[in-house]
Amino acid sequence: MNWFTRVRNSIGWLPKRTSEKDLWVKCPSCQEMLFEQEYEENLHVCPRCGHHGRINADQRLALLLDEGFDLLEQPEVKEDPLKFKDSKKYTDRLKAARAKSPHRDAFSVGSGTIDGHDAVVGVQDFSFMGGSMGMAVGTAFCQGAERALSRKCAYIVVTAAGGARMQEGILSLMQMPKATVMTRRLKEAGLPYIVVLSDPTTGGVTASYAMLGDIHIAEPNALIGFAGQRVIRDTIREKLPEGFQRAEYLHKHGMVDMVVHRKDLKAQIATMLDYLSPAKAA
């Protein structure tokens, strides 16, 4: 419930309003109160300051793929192989994440077309345990690549992650070379592999498949990096540049090919597929 609803409901002589969702949302960047419907219609981009809010896997797939795409079934992997427990059991964390999501884990794959071009799109959902990369994410990434190989089409991956999933230890880190092998297979097959870097893309994801694309696109002001700024600053003992690890800074220094507004993303990818997709035999 937002502040406006709380204040209104606290006034005794006014009838209380109840709604399944708030009518207003506060922009995390400029702090402006935005009408929820307007915010959603603007693809979760603040119309005042242009801040790109985070969106879930289903919203991302609907944004990029044409209607009628197929959603690949998410793989079932051995859960909690290390019987890990910190402040909570790993199994309890998974249950809590799944209660808020229609998907079993943080990586979803859709197979269809982008403006008529055959494509497979894999999306990492930060709202599911910070998009962390575990065995389920690594396996889903590879299944998406396999589908692209079988369809002989482009593989587009949208990254959003805090890094590897610590509850799976070395098994989560093994997803890095596993995914890297699949990007190599795409390259050998002559199929485009395009990465869209959304906020945030960090840790082991950045150190593997997020930075191995033929083309790297970033959303405006997305946080992209491996280690955190404080760790880097304390290690090199130097003041970091303004905007360090943000999309525009990385674009200026050659780490990212282009920074594209969310509303233009599908059209930009479709244009690239015109150039990169293998020609079909007549």
**Residues 158, 122: Cα–Cα separation, whole Å:** 6
3-class DSSP assignment, residue 125: coil
What does the alpha-carbon distance between residue 88 and residue 86 come to, in Å, rounded to a whole number? 5
Q: In 3D, which of 33, 34, 88, 27 has the Cα closest to residue 52?
A: 27
Separation of alpha carbons 158 and 125, rounded Å:
9
CB atoms within 10 A of CB 192: 23
The strand ranges marked E within the chain are 24-26, 33-35, 70-71, 107-114, 117-124, 154-161, 193-201, 215-218, 258-259
- Cis ω for the linkage preceding 200 (within 30 of 0): yes
Please answer whether residues 220 and 52 qualify as being in contact, where contact means their C-beta atoms are separated by less than 8 angstroms: yes
Q: What is the widest separation between alpha-carbon atoms in the chain?
A: 74
3-state helix, strand, coil in the chain (%, to 5): 40, 20, 40
| 153 marked as part of a ligand binding site | no
Binding-site residues for Zn(2+), in ranges, read: 27, 30, 46, 49
Binding-site residues, in ranges, read: 27, 30, 46, 49
